[in-house]
Chain A
Amino acid sequence: MAAARRPATYLLARVPLFTALSKRQLARVASVADERADPEGRVLMEAGHPGKAIHVITSGKVKVMKGRVTEAELGPGDFFGELALLDGEARTRTIVAATPLQTIHIERPAFRNLLKREPDIAIALLEGMARRTRKILDSPSQ
């Protein structure tokens, strides 16, 4: 479904983790992404549980919650689970669909398999992460 993949590629290109990837590499990452629809109120990620995927919102909104407090709302083009995709660390926030929601998501095992099959993608991601670390460590405000 090449036509359906195009918007996924476009959305993924905006995630900082993927900025160092070529178009071809982004398309490979998009090929392991799935679309999903969730009703309002569905919990997508739960604080304390291991992170299993990155989600990019295609339509609708989610609430980012710490306990019962809503800290933020995210909408189309926003994403969550970026670093969890790499390290699977426990979530610190709960994410709940605030409206009917459509996302594309990439599951950690599929992503890791892709990286093992195509190490050039892993190498490009490492390059991007290094530049990011440099930028954060170097920024005078830190």
Chain B
Amino acid sequence: MARHATVDLLSRVPLFEGLSRAHLGHLAALAEDASYNAGRVIVRRDDPGKAFYVIVAGQAKVVKGKIVTARGEATLGPGDFFGELALLDGEPRAATVVASTPLQTIRIERTAFRRMLREEPDIAVKLLEGMARRTRKILAAPPL
């Protein structure tokens, strides 16, 4: 996918809010295209979280569990994402996600992401800033 389109998609993810276009460009450089046939399991509940996904085209179903950052939505479509927190903490998957149509995603691996943060600590500092604002927001107005 074209770099600027990847940057646009990533800019809408809460974790990356507040990153400059240049920082988003570093992130987009890590993104790989990954396509799945309908019915394919993309991530499985309880497996270690190793990557973050943004859906480019198609739809996916959340089965067994819920994606906390998607407010429990069961169907995901273009622009939706999962594995955002796994990118940071690598915790086991909270849900299984299955492609319900042919699915195109971009994927960022946790190991590549961490390597990039070590090389670009300014991005890590920005992300921390965003996480603090987000914690504040959630604590003030908890989602239902």
On A, residues with C-beta under 8 Å from B are 83-89, 112, 115-117, 119-120, 122-123, 125-134, 136-138, 142
A115 engages B132 (CB within 8 Å): no
Subset of 13 A-B contacts with CB under 8 Å: A86-B128, A86-B132, A115-B128, A122-B117, A123-B118, A125-B128, A126-B131, A127-B88, A129-B128, A129-B132, A130-B131, A131-B91, A132-B135
List, in ascending order, chain A residues with CB within 8 A of B33's CB: none
Interface size on B, residues (CB 8 A): 31
List, in ascending order, chain A residues with CB within 8 A of B91's CB: 130-131, 134
Shortest C-beta distance, B83 to chain A (Å), equals 11
Q: Which residue of A lies closest to B68 (CB)?
A: A137
Q: Which residue of A lies closest to B49 (CB)?
A: A130
Whether a CB of chain A sits under 8 angstroms from the CB of B3 is no
The answer to whether residues A136 and B135 also contact, given A116-B121, A119-B121, A123-B114 and a CB cut-off of 8 A, is yes
The answer to whether residues A134 and B68 also contact, given A116-B121, A122-B117 and a CB cut-off of 8 A, is yes
Shortest C-beta distance, B73 to chain A (Å), equals 13
Which among B87, B89, B131, B139 is the interface contact of A86 at CB below 8 angstroms? B131
Q: Is the interface of B mostly helix, strand, loop or mixed?
A: helix
B5-61: which residues lie under 8 A (CB-CB) from chain A? Answer: none
Kindly state the separation between the CA atoms of A89 and B87 in the bound complex, as whole angstroms. Answer: 25
Shortest C-beta distance, B69 to chain A (Å), equals 7
- Give B85-103 as 1s and 0s: 1 = Cβ < 8 Å from A's Cβ atoms: 1011111001000000000
Kindly state the separation between the CA atoms of A133 and B69 in the bound complex, as whole angstroms. Answer: 9
B138 engages A137 (CB within 8 Å): yes
Kindly state the separation between the CA atoms of A142 and B143 in the bound complex, as whole angstroms. Answer: 7
List, in ascending order, chain A residues with CB within 8 A of B131's CB: 86, 126, 129-130, 133
Shortest C-beta distance, A111 to chain B (Å), equals 9
B136 engages A83 (CB within 8 Å): yes
The answer to whether residues A126 and B88 also contact, given A86-B131, A87-B129, A119-B118 and a CB cut-off of 8 A, is yes
